[in-house]
Structure 1
Amino acid sequence: MDLHIGPEPDEGRRAGLERALRDAVRDGRLAPGARLPATRRLAEELGVSRGTVKAAYDQLVAEGYLTARQGSGTVVAPLPAAGAGPPQSGARARAPLFDLRPGAPDVGAFPAAVWLRAVRRAVAAAPVSAYDYGDPLGRMELREALAEYLGRARGVVAPPERILVTSGAIQGLALLTRVLEGGTVAMEDPGLPFHREVVRRAGGRVVPVRVDALGVEVDDLRDPAAVVVTPAHQYPTGVTLHPSRRRALTDWARARGALVVEDDYDGEFRYDRQPVGALQGMAPGQVVYLGTASKTLGPALRLGWMVLPPHLVAPVADAKLHSDHSTETLGQLALAELIRTHAYDRHVRACRLRYRRRRDRLVERLGARRRVHGIAAGLHALVEVEDETAVLERAAAEGLAVGSLREHWHADGSREGLVLSLIH
């Protein structure tokens, strides 16, 4: 390892070396477990005798900053964090015994071996240009693979030149809001609070639009620049947007020159119904399609995509360029390889079967006395309860973490319920 330390000129060599090493350990520049250079090598680099370095090491071992074992070299000892107090006690400090909060896939099902093979093949075949700065739209290999997959599996009209690769749906939503230059964005009520905050922080003004048993209430829309919807499996109610509402929504967008943003976050997962195609296929010129690998593979990949109407490709690409320039390349190439070889399809089908079994077990445990919604598809369910606060308190006392419907309303909502993961 290279070690950057600098004894002060007016210090003795040994004292200066001890002080420099001690400071490096204290301020974290030398992390616990880091192996120090051999005494002979460090002596040569610093222009001091090997005996001076050994004496400094021995002193810091005696003080507890370093540890030394025969044949293992000298390493930095673990130290307590600065300002660390005693461990917290009480129910709030304990992790739940069972976590049914929604929002994440089963990351334990990540196909690590398949992904590793895809990375190896992608890197072996990658041109030299793959290691340069990337196109803000993303690698053409992935855009072409997505065009084929989205058209086949989700009914999306997705020419590669209208696909932009992002670090996830959140970035896509933020980029669009920036392009709308602070316009009004209607968002489902109830809906995900974090998404509302993303729009606000990107400069948009958020207004609610009600969701009922048929999906978003199109008649509630006034004159927003855009409306964000989850038509395949509404979050958190689990409603699928009714065909009549789909037509009304796309007609509204055409008549007003407005934008519909379709968040298809879990559209691949269906259990008791035929696949419902993406809304974007009905109106490619008015709908922005947001997709992501976070729910199918894992959030750690930070890979998502947008399918844009033609007039938005250039401005959104410019916003991407001035946001983070481009999404990392090697992950794009690996995902393209997964899709091209249909390993992605196989993984999604395997997850679908696994999640369906877990869904069935959850519904069985809940019993017939509970009204459960949204279980025909997706990664979560809504369970009706009469007293949400009481149920949440009882669940917490039993070590069970669940999602609350109350926190999803823009303001106070009259309906109460629990939002449960179907997959944990």
Structure 2
Amino acid sequence: MSAQYAISGTTAKGITSSVEQAVTEGRLGPGDALPPVRRLADELGVGAGTVATAYKELRQRGIVVTRGRGGTVVAQTPAVGARRPPKVPRGVRDLAGGHPDPALLPVLLPPERLVPVSGSHRGSPRRAGLEDMSREWFARDGVPDSRVTFAHGALDCMARLLSAELKPGDAVAVEDPGFHHLLDLVPALGLRMVPVAVDDEGIRPQALRAALRAGVRAVVCSPRGQNPMGGCFSEERRDALLEALGDFPDVLVIEDDHNAEVAGAPSYSLAAGGLERWAQVRTVSKHLGIDLRWAALACDAATLARHEGRMLLTSGWVSHLLQETVERTMADATARALVGRAERTYTERREALVGELARRGIAAHGASGLNVCVPVRDESAVVNGLRSRGWWVAAGSRFRIAAPTAVRITTATLEVAEAARFAQDFAAVLGESEATYGG
């Protein structure tokens, strides 16, 4: 616990407010430990049950997490305050962000005239043309397209699905390593994460079976372009996962196919496998632009009803100005051609780096998507070593729960001609770190 802050309060609500205020103001930071329940109870002169109730509330609100014998600590991204990722240092090449190459994003085509809306769009929340395009988008890859709706991006959609389907304390199976924003979101919703190991073909069947037997009520996974490993389902892996899920028909399976257009891999979707409870989310941020906060959702009837009900009570609909921009851009022949070139280019750049690393005896993961993941012994040593050589990569700690240490390299802007130089620098840094920290 931070030496500069003492928790106060004589009720569960007071203790909760004290901790939340400290986290909001930065006096308690990510990873800082809270006192054991009995010790804090003695210090405050209250019952242990009062402190336990406060800690439970803090956990359910995503402010703290409990790590078994490691005690209760502030979450890495607590669901209070306005924290942002660290800025990229000056003078280095950013290969950490996970973003697409701006040069491979089309010019957006917003509405030519902004006509004022009379009344509300709640009665017709989706533009018919974009809904038809979305159905075709899913159907192209065998995903059932009879029930389609929209959301404000993938995370917004998954948050609504999970909060409508589950109650605080329920367990969700998540990829480990996995998308760091999702790993922050799940505990912020008051849900428990059950890590599921992944490899180059996505989540592992045995790990999924263990999570299902442990009682998870939802599974969130990526069929391709998995972040950060780059895994993609093969047909065999898809079938093995469907077999594991067959004994648990009430579990909601959410697929995040966030870079469907530029993953560089075919679709072997669980959503196409006849599941009773399923949803697939697709976005356009990776191939049309990161500022288009729009997602298409295909799902079963019950999931659609719950999502639509929550949407109706909150934002009501996705902006029709945004929808028209997405629709016009998706329909544009020039934009479609550029998206096709982007997928080929991203594949070439990713494969170039994996190949150059392999030539230097360095194993890397990157079967699809915009990233390459490299196992390392000491993340900080590698990140800082590459920084000294002008490269900025992401430490794997952001993406993992119990998975081994690694770093993630975004290859979207790394030209093929640059791959050898980066790999050479990586090999040099790896050698230095192993000499220092033990190889």
**Class of the TM-score when normalised by the shorter of the 2 chains:** 0.5 to 0.7
Q: Could you tell me which residue of structure 1 aligns to residue 144 of structure 2? A: 157
* CA gap 1:353/1:252 in 2 versus in 1, 3 angstroms: closer
* CA gap 1:96/1:379 in 2 versus in 1, 3 angstroms: same
1:307 deviation in Å? 0.9
Q: Could you tell me which residue of structure 1 aligns to residue 136 of structure 2? A: 148
Residues of 2 paired with 1:212 and 1:350: CA distance?
Answer: 27
Match of 1:310 among 295, 298, 301: 301
Residues of 2 paired with 1:307 and 1:155: CA distance?
Answer: 11
Give the letter for the 2:219 counterpart: V
Residues of 1 paired with 2:100 and 2:133: CA distance?
Answer: 23
Return 5+ residue gaps in structure 1 as ranges: 1-90
1:195 deviation in Å? 0.5
1:244 deviation in Å? 3.8
Residues of 2 paired with 1:283 and 1:95: CA distance?
Answer: 50
Match of 1:402 among 393, 396, 413: 393
Q: Which is further off, 389-398 or 256-265?
A: 389-398
Q: Please tell me whether residue 346 in structure 1 is matched to residue 337 in structure 2.
A: yes
Q: Which is further off, 295-304 or 351-360?
A: 351-360
Give the letter for the 1:99 counterpart: D
1:343 deviation in Å? 5.0
Matches within 5 A, 1:12-411: 94-112=89-107, 115-116=108-109, 119-120=111-112, 132-135=120-123, 138-152=126-140, 154-159=141-146, 162-182=147-167, 183-216=170-203, 217-221=207-211, 222=213, 223-256=215-248, 257-271=250-264, 275-283=266-274, 285-363=276-354, 366=357, 368-411=359-402
1:358 deviation in Å? 3.1
Q: State whether residues 218 and 245 of structure 1, in contact with CA within 8 Å, keep that contact through their aligned partners in structure 2.
A: no
SS in 2 for 1:260: strand
Instruction: Give the greater-gyration-radius structure (CA).
Output: 1
SS in 1 for 2:306: helix
* CA gap 1:97/1:209 in 2 versus in 1, 3 angstroms: same
Q: State whether residues 229 and 366 of structure 2, in contact with CA within 8 Å, keep that contact through their aligned partners in structure 1.
A: no
Q: State whether residues 233 and 374 of structure 1, in contact with CA within 8 Å, keep that contact through their aligned partners in structure 2.
A: no
* CA gap 1:225/1:137 in 2 versus in 1, 3 angstroms: farther
Q: State whether residues 135 and 326 of structure 1, in contact with CA within 8 Å, keep that contact through their aligned partners in structure 2.
A: no
1:263 deviation in Å? 0.7
Show CA shifts across 1:48-79 (max 9, x none): xxxxxxxxxxxxxxxxxxxxxxxxxxxxxxxx
What is the TM-score of this pair, normalised by structure 1? 0.68
Q: Could you tell me which residue of structure 2 aligns to residue 49 of structure 1? A: none
* CA gap 1:136/1:178 in 2 versus in 1, 3 angstroms: farther
Q: State whether residues 263 and 370 of structure 2, in contact with CA within 8 Å, keep that contact through their aligned partners in structure 1.
A: no
Q: Percent identity?
A: 26
1:339 deviation in Å? 3.2
Residues of 2 paired with 1:341 and 1:281: CA distance?
Answer: 28
Give the letter for the 1:193 counterpart: H
Give the letter for the 1:218 counterpart: L
Q: Which is further off, 218-227 or 279-288?
A: 279-288
Residues of 1 paired with 2:234 and 2:104: CA distance?
Answer: 32
1:213 deviation in Å? 5.0
Residues of 2 paired with 1:251 and 1:130: CA distance?
Answer: 50
Q: State whether residues 178 and 319 of structure 1, in contact with CA within 8 Å, keep that contact through their aligned partners in structure 2.
A: no
Q: Could you tell me which residue of structure 2 aligns to residue 41 of structure 1? A: none
Q: State whether residues 97 and 399 of structure 1, in contact with CA within 8 Å, keep that contact through their aligned partners in structure 2.
A: yes
SS in 1 for 2:359: coil
1:401 deviation in Å? 1.0
Residues of 1 paired with 2:314 and 2:90: CA distance?
Answer: 36
Give the letter for the 1:416 counterpart: T
Q: Could you tell me which residue of structure 2 aligns to residue 29 of structure 1? A: none
Residues of 2 paired with 1:92 and 1:284: CA distance?
Answer: 42
Q: State whether residues 136 and 327 of structure 1, in contact with CA within 8 Å, keep that contact through their aligned partners in structure 2.
A: no
Residues of 2 paired with 1:151 and 1:285: CA distance?
Answer: 18
SS in 2 for 1:206: strand
SS in 1 for 2:297: strand
Give the letter for the 2:159 counterpart: A
Q: Could you tell me which residue of structure 2 aligns to residue 67 of structure 1? A: none
Show CA shifts across 1:100-119 (max 9, x none): 1142112343322xx23x63
SS in 2 for 1:241: coil
Q: State whether residues 253 and 286 of structure 1, in contact with CA within 8 Å, keep that contact through their aligned partners in structure 2.
A: no
Give the letter for the 1:156 counterpart: V
Residues of 2 paired with 1:410 and 1:259: CA distance?
Answer: 22
Give the letter for the 2:273 counterpart: M
1:344 deviation in Å? 4.9
What is the TM-score of this pair, normalised by structure 2? 0.66
Show CA shifts across 1:219-253 (max 9, x none): 22222111101121322222223434422333443
Show CA shifts across 1:381-406 (max 9, x none): 11233433321121122332101223
